[in-house]
Amino acid sequence: DQQVKQNSPSLSVQEGRISILNCDYTNSMFDYFLWYKKYPAEGPTFLISISSIKDKNEDGRFTVFLNKSAKHLSLHIVPSQPGDSAVYFCAASHNTNAGKSTFGDGTTLTVKP
Amino acid sequence: NAGVTQTPKFQVLKTGQSMTLQCAQDMNHEYMSWYRQDPGMGLRLIHYSVGAGITDQGEVPNGYNVSRSTTEDFPLRLLSAAPSQTSVYFCASSYADTYNEQFFGPGTRLTVL
């Protein structure tokens, strides 16, 4: 039973356009959601997060939206740049276990020049 | 700060051999975790620790052992390596406050023949 799902294994967009990466979760106990970015042969790095008391969080070109009723979140990257090409992981946790997260399988984003 | 460091970067073992993957962090983080990533999949939690002397099992703990004698170090021991343990292993750390992102090491690529 996968509690965090990223149903699109890959996404390809043109430079300058918007990239939208999606994530669904099933565990209603999750109250904190994170996106990590991973380049080949490196560890994941934190990108942006959102707590369940918000429905949107913005950081520069990156915005995360949370729809609690649908148990769905999305990451928007505008405008997309070739350096954004990486694997993006969605992760979820709850405050009683802040040190561990449940990860989705990742979406490989390719931004074409 | 070096952040989270892992050694070795690469390792090849024969079935039945044992070894220890090393992980250290210099950020005084209370929480430390071990994940494995198999091809096309997300990160799955093996073991985690909320502080020195305290460890707990994650999603896939079988065949692995951990201990946490200091805040800085969190080694992962493979007791008797099996081909199913071929994977990339990531160590992560974070503060103990309720909502915090994890900082990941660069990973150890392990092959068991």
Each residue's pLDDT tens digit, B42-61? 899 999 999 999 999 999 99
Write out pLDDT tens, residues A19-69. Answer: 999 999 999 999 999 999 999 999 999 999 999 999 999 999 999 999 999
Q: Would the CB atoms of B90 and A44 count as touching at under 8 Å?
A: yes
d(CA B70, CA B74): 8
Q: Would the CB atoms of A98 and B100 count as touching at under 8 Å?
A: yes
Distance from CA of B99 to the nearest CA of A (A): 6
Q: Would the CB atoms of B41 and A95 count as touching at under 8 Å?
A: no
Q: B21 in helix, strand or coil?
A: strand
Lowest mean pLDDT among A59-63, A76-80, B101-105: B101-105
Average pLDDT value for chain A: 94
Tell me whether B100 touches chain A (CB under 8 Å).
yes
Lowest mean pLDDT among B8-12, B13-17, B36-40: B36-40
- Rounded to a whole number, what is the largest CA-CA distance in chain B? 41
Tell me whether B34 touches chain A (CB under 8 Å).
no
B103-107 mean pLDDT: 96
B101 residue type, one letter: E
Instruction: Judge contact between A29 and A93, C-beta under 8 A.
Output: no
With 90 as the cut, is the pLDDT of residue A5 above it?
yes
CA nearest neighbour of A94 among A42, A51, A59? A51
Interface test with A, best of B29, B87, B101 (most A CBs within 10 A): B101
Tell me whether B101 touches chain A (CB under 8 Å).
yes
CB neighbours of B39 closer than 8 A, spacing ≥ 6? none
Give CA A15 to chain center in angstroms. 19
Distance from CA of A21 to the nearest CA of B (A): 15
